[in-house]
Amino acid sequence: MDRIVVKRSGPLSGQIPIAGAKNTCLKLMCASLLSDEPLTLTNVPRLSDVATLSELLESLGVQIGRLDEGRTLALSATDLTSHLAHYDIVRKLRASFNVLGPLIGRTGEAIVSLPGGCAIGARAVDFHLEGLKAMGAKVDLKDGYVYASGDLKGAEVEFPFPSVGATENVMCAAVRARGTTVIKNAAREPDTKALADCLIAMGADIEGAGTEQIVVRGVDRLHGATHRVITDRIELGTYMVAPGIAGGEVECLGGTRDLLAAFCDKMEAAGLEITQTDAGLKVRHPGGRLKAVDVTTAPFPGFPTDLQAQFMAMMCFAEGTSTLEETIFENRFMHAPELIRMGANIDVQGNTARVTGVDHLRAAPVMATDLRASVSLILAGMAAEGETIVNRVYHLDRGYEHLVRKLRGVGANVERLSE
């Protein structure tokens, strides 16, 4: 199994190109099921999650053409051959549960494996299912699968919490339903807005995406379209943290502040200088130690849960004590024990971590059980004495394209070892 070896690095200098957004791309791929005409996606990130979802869509009858070394995908769902999303694939990738809305919206029938829990929390799907039921779907759970069927009609769906996945599933189910669906307390994440933009380009009638209320008026059919995947704001934020830990100045190409305003505010409060350039977002470490800053994760436009681990890694070196509160997932501090093994001073109580900055960390072999936790350990390793070895690299391949190449490009001392 591959490993990544990180040594003390910095000051960093240079540019990092930011790829298309994983979590947007996966949902756009699912949306291709809604039309019998091809959906062409550009700026596709080359990630194992994209490959896994492609496998699932192909098992449903979607034909996928790959151009430009996989940066462009042409997804053609002209003849669907199945409406069964098998456990073997859904268990690997939670986003694959998002074939449910498009499948039932297009064919009136879907059988989709329950995704199950995962390392960061229970991750229920009750909001997805309640939303579909409100629209008239018959939903049964049997042998670990969701059986959903029915001719959907518009309804009012109010979520108890602005779930990203549930908003997207219900929105996709509603675009071809009879009548108008009003989604209240909808997720406002840029990924959800980007999905609505793509559906609109395919002929859907959607208003209010990116706000708390989305109105979807059903149309008879969707047509093909070509759509560009937006910049990955979590990849962007991850690389913005790199100079925060290793020092120096990095320009993240394609980055815009509006994707990450709350995160940028906290980075600046810690002492980093952020400038919007024509090409992207530039982050400069002014030298000396950063200041400890408190963070509470929240749905967009709040501080993203997907950047909490990386920010924690940076706070391990800051002056003072910061309190990081995780409000989205119940078990998202798995990086903390690993950082502690490297000498960090972190006290976790329930959903709150208190991090008191130390002068330096010491390298150690570490491993993490999810994508963002893994990358936070690589970032921390850039300011640790010795050789940090990060195991279970497959987590990183799910969400970071050319991670090692990109970090080396700005001078980081990072290497991938194959075995």
Q: Which spans of this chain sit near ligand EPZ (rule: CB under 6 A)?
A: 23, 26, 94-95, 121-128, 161, 163-166, 189, 305-306, 328-329, 371-372, 399
Indicate the residue among 72 and 369 with the shorter CB distance to ligand EPZ: 369
Give helix then strand counts, H and E, for the chain. Answer: 14, 26
From the CB of 76, what's the least distance to ligand EPZ, in Å?
23
Rounded to the nearest whole angstrom, what is the least distance from the CB of residue 220 to ligand EPZ in the complex?
Answer: 29
Closer by beta carbon to ligand EPZ, 116 or else 121: 121
Residue with token string 């990072």: 414
Shortest Cβ 196–ligand EPZ spacing (Å): 14
Separation in Å, CA 355 to CA 246, 321, 325 = 18, 5, 11
Residue 177 C-alpha from the chain's centroid: 28
The residues, any chain, with a CB within 8 Å of residue 163's CB and separated by 6 or more, are 127, 128, 187
Identity of the residue, 185 or 321, whose beta carbon is nearer to ligand EPZ in the bound complex: 185
Nearer to ligand EPZ, 8 or 372 (CB): 372
Buried residues in 218-239 as b, exposed as e (16+ CB within 10 A): bbeebebbebbbbbbbbbbbbb
Phi, psi of 95 (to 5 degrees): -60, -20
Catalytic machinery residues: 118
Q: Give 139 or 384: the residue with its C-beta nearer to ligand EPZ.
A: 139
Q: Where are the alpha helices (DSSP H) in 91-134?
A: 100-107, 126-134
> How far is residue 20's CA from residue 232's CA, in Å, rounded to a whole number?
5
Contact status, residue 295 vs residue 268, Cβ threshold 8 Å = no
Mapping DSSP to helix (H, G, I), strand (E, B) and coil, where does residue 412 land? coil
Least Å from the CB of residue 94 to ligand EPZ = 6
Rounded distance between C-alpha atoms, residue 219 and residue 189, angstroms = 24
Query: Minimal CB distance to ligand EPZ: which residue?
Result: 165
40 or 169, CB closer to ligand EPZ? 169
Residue with tokens 């690299």: 393
| Nearest distance in Å: CB 237, ligand EPZ | 11
Element (DSSP H or E) covering residue 48: helix 48-59
Q: Compute φ and ψ for 390, nearest 5 degrees.
A: -105, 120
Shortest gap between Cβ of 329 and ligand EPZ (angstroms)?
5
